[in-house]
Amino acid sequence: MTEGQFFFAFDGSAHMEFTEFVLAASTATLGEEPAARTHADILEYRLDLASDGVDALAAYDGVLPLLVTNRTEREGGEAADGPARLGVLETAIKQPSVAAVDVELAAIRDGGAERVVDHARERDVAVVVSTHDFERTPDRERMRALLRAGADHGDVAKLAVTAQNRGDVLDLLAVTDELSPTAPVATMAMGEPGRHSRVVAPLYGSCLGYAPVDPADATAPGQYGLERFRHLVDRLRGR
């Protein structure tokens, strides 16, 4: 673990802050946590990909705090949308090792995910409000609107877009640079043209990045492996 931006409250729960860049190691297996400790600040547990599901959280004894995600099919995951998916997140939040939860902006706007956000607030669990576009990079005004809406509902507004060219990446970085002083934002451009944005975006204010412990287990197009991601980010930031 690197920057250590979490602490344990008196009730044993983990509290996560995003005042500096946080690197999440994405996994569907909590047993990978020891391999992630050296380079990650938090472990993203992909409930939609996990064979053990939410039951594995009760037995988790790792050092890294957890960010739980149960991604919908329409935003690149494998969980069927609906009340049951959100119920899994509500159950996960009850575990003291869970410091943050990912909720899609679309699910909040549909009305079903507000209870997950409220439940997270009650337990001092940070809320990442995410939007994914697997087809394109919206124009700057649209990206601003999505990030501002995410910030209105959560602690971090996450936007992952698909870059077709370097101009798309420049647009994303410009919006990140503009909005990051006013709210915690996490941005990245998926796909090969945008791959470098994952390690460059923190220089423009992106506060959260993702990488698989094993590069072969990437959960989104263009992800770096965890060790390489940390090395590149630290080098760019002069560490």
Catalytic residues: 132, 158
CA distance 10 to 27: 28
- 131 — phi, psi (to 5°)? -140, 135
CA distance 219 to 25: 11
Are the C-beta atoms of 27 and 36 separated by less than 8 Å? Answer: yes
Are the C-beta atoms of 211 and 223 separated by less than 8 Å? Answer: yes
Per-residue tokens: 96: 């003291």
Report CA 229 to chain centroid distance, whole Å: 15
